[in-house]
Structure 1
Amino acid sequence: MDEQRKYVRAECSATVELNHPSLAYRELKARDLSDGGMFVILGANIAPPIGTVLKVKIKRYTGVINDEPVAMQVVHHNNGGVGLMFV
């Protein structure tokens, strides 16, 4: 299968805060990050439906990367997590 990604993924150890009016606040771990989005590990959490736009804050051990939440859309469910795309 050919790789169809526009952006190179980099492994990361960021914590991600996900917010949406119909979902409870969630703080999860990101597995990788690129200029186009990220993959977030869900653990025992239920995946938001594909197409859902979430407000996301990204934190590293050095602190918060983005003070204001950014909009990210759920684009796929796979391997115990969700793929999020910056919108």
Structure 2
Amino acid sequence: MSMDDQSIDERIASRVRQAMAARRMSQKDLGNRFGQSQAWISRRVRGQVPFSVAELATVARVLAVPLEFLVGAVGVASTDLTPVVAS
């Protein structure tokens, strides 16, 4: 499936999975950061349930990636996973 064929929710889920892999963070670990189960986060990272904006902001903070990366903003490459340091 090309990026054009994917829904925005599927693209976001794919980006979250990429960032999780880059940080070597499991679904269980990420779910724990939300106070939720592995099953809760699994539905989101598989694109079955969309992330809310607030959840995406938390994911970006936890994974130390730009929010723009997660939403697939133009000019933010999938290789742009250098940790973001909060100011």
Structure holding more helix per residue: 2
Under TM normalisation by the shorter chain, which class is it? Answer: under 0.3
- TM-score computed with the length of structure 1 as normaliser: 0.23
Structure holding more strand per residue: 1
- TM-score computed with the length of structure 2 as normaliser: 0.23
